[in-house]
Amino acid sequence: MTKTAKSRLTRGETYTRDLDGGISLQGEVSPCVFMYPGYPLQISLILDAGDSRATAHATNRGLTATTAGEKDVRRLLARVRIKPCRRCSTPTFDPATVETNRAGLCDGCFLGDLKAKIAKETESQSLRLADRDRQMKASGHKFRLTAWIHPEAGDDYQADWYFTDRPAKARIRAFLREEGSSVLDDFQVIAL
């Protein structure tokens, strides 16, 4: 009979570190540490700075669930530093001490930039589609079929096709089946 090492860590336990100015830093051992043998010690972090909250991860790649203990989690939490957002001065994680994609921005500034980028891309896609619709209408097409293709394996994707006559639902379903979609009713017919 083989003995397996028992984790010295507790699932779901929250570790808290109070910082100056009423800021609180909370950490919890990430579930993946317990789920995957050999996964490095990682804590999921929440920075609570009143009106602002942020999340990140801190990792010690030299420890795992079977080699780490509560003191290691507390040491890892103690190494996390906070600094002002480089744009608005809201407290945020110092990217030199945690794993984050925020590059020194607080969540509010980061998400604001992300929303603006998505809005710009969405507008650009809408303009390209409207231009293509005009070109297809000028060439005699009267309808656009926009559908999501759901293959049995792989990622879903959106596709557009143009028709001179309104396609019947049976024809569309057969068309989507030929394209390899497992879902045959995720489509919209738009009159040009």
Q: Exposure of 93 by Cβ count < 10 A (0-12 exposed, 13-18 middle, 19+ buried)?
A: buried
Q: Is 108 helix (H, G, I), strand (E, B) or coil?
A: helix
CA dist., res. 167 & res. 160, Å (int): 13
Q: Are 28 and 14 in contact (CB under 8 A)?
A: yes
Q: Exposure of 165 by Cβ count < 10 A (0-12 exposed, 13-18 middle, 19+ buried)?
A: exposed
CA dist., res. 76 & res. 43, Å (int): 8
The residues that bridge with 141 in the sheet, in sequence order, are none
Starting at the edge strand that comes first in sequence, how are the strands of the sheet with 143-149 ordered? 157-163, 143-149, 187-191
Residue-level pLDDT, tens digit, the chain, 192 residues: 444 444 588 888 999 998 888 889 999 999 999 999 999 999 999 998 877 888 899 999 999 999 999 999 999 999 999 999 999 999 999 999 998 888 889 989 999 999 999 999 999 999 999 999 999 999 999 999 999 999 998 899 999 999 999 999 999 999 899 999 999 999 999 999
Query: Whole-prediction pTM value?
Result: 0.67
The two three-digit tokens of residue 180, written as one number = 């390899």
The residues that bridge with 17 in the sheet, in sequence order, are 25
**Spatial CB neighbours of 90, under 8 Å, sequence gap ≥ 6:** 49, 52, 84, 106, 108, 109
